Amino acid sequence: MGIIGAILKNPEDLHHLLKLKMASAAANRAIPSDPNLAFCYQMLRRVSGSFSIVILQLEPGLRNAVCVFYLVLRGLQAVEDDLTIPYDLKVELLRNLHKKIFDRDFHFPCGNNDYKLLMDKFYLVILAFLGLTTGYQEVITEITERMGEGMVKYLNTEIISREDYNEYCHFSAGLMGLGLTRIFYTAGMEQFTPDYLSNAMGLFLQKTNVIRDYLENINAQPTSRLRWPKEVWSKYADKPEAFMDETNYKQGLHCLNEMVTDALSHGLDCLHYMAALQDQPNLRFCATFQITALGTLAMCYNNVEVFRGSVRMRRGLTAKILDVKNMVDVYGAFYDFTRLIAAKIDKTDPSAVTTHKFVDDIRSICRFEIKNRRAFTIESKFGHETFLVVALFVILVIMLLIVTKQ
């Protein structure tokens, strides 16, 4: 009854959820006939269902390169995250994976569940990589080398300063932004975007994940994986775990809001990057992740649930974001989500002035660019007629379920 309850609460989501269902089915049908690429797309579905749907918006040749690129970087992540690998061996693997992707037989058993399968059969990803053009191979090799070195640097290094935090996020995701830009350019579909804009696209996503996953990472075993910089959290508590205690929620929210504000500092650069994209499918691909990130930040801002539960965007809204068509939609989404943040700013919050500045800067450029647009909002807004239609649909589903069980 979970999906039915969600539809009753947000009936306008029904249309978008149905489209998402069809997109998911299309992703299943889009598996290439080549066995190596087939494995890559099957693994993509398993390690990131949302990415496997969004990637379908790309041109087929470009899609294959992005799929392989993503899985190679996931291979790095699998090695980094496996705590059973001895330190020296882990360092060797991270620093040399960019060379090993030219070894047709390379695989390395590590990770759990889907990542274990990925690494057990990593040679199939390598064969798909070797089937790409030289230009794509050069990009993937360079970014894999740089990311591997970055992972080594932060294996056992605490993030102290904001500079550390930015560098960590650069290695974790900014480099992927640079790699995607180079892949777009290699495909002959886009101009070469300045690195600082490509980096901002990755930082925006990574910082959102770091903020949203506070509870999961603080409770990780055998040791915390929280990546909030000490320079920030130490202003509000002696240790970041303190924010889970309800007596510290006020200080925790101040810290959280400063973290969200820091992420919002990349918003304008993300808009500039996307506005420069010339190919519409490329724009839709990039915009889906950036809008989802901003929507997640809007949900996290000043929200104590970050410290005691899970803050996730509802599936219907995620499905709606997948319908983004053009830059006007992007501006509309950014405008609406920053409006939601602005409505939650408490003038007594230590970061309030800076938060307002970043939000107002984003809203100003969006307000100038948008005309007739759809509304991207977290809140549900619908009329009586819509409710009746959805209620009838839900009743029909329930009746069908009853008949099926008899």
The number of helix segments (H) and strand segments (E) in the chain equals: 22, 0
225 is catalytic: yes
Q: Which of 39, 136, 165, 168 is catalytic?
A: 168
Q: Which of 212, 227, 284, 363 is catalytic?
A: 212
In Å, the largest CA–CA distance within the chain is 64
Q: Which of 122, 285, 335, 376 is catalytic?
A: 285
63 is catalytic: no
Q: Which of 87, 162, 196, 225 is catalytic?
A: 225
261 with 354: CB under 8 angstroms?
yes
227 is catalytic: no
182 is catalytic: no
Give me the sign of the Cα torsion angle 165, 169, 170, 172.
Answer: positive
Nearest to 125 by CA among 94, 104, 95, 155: 104
Catalytically annotated residues: 168, 212, 225, 285
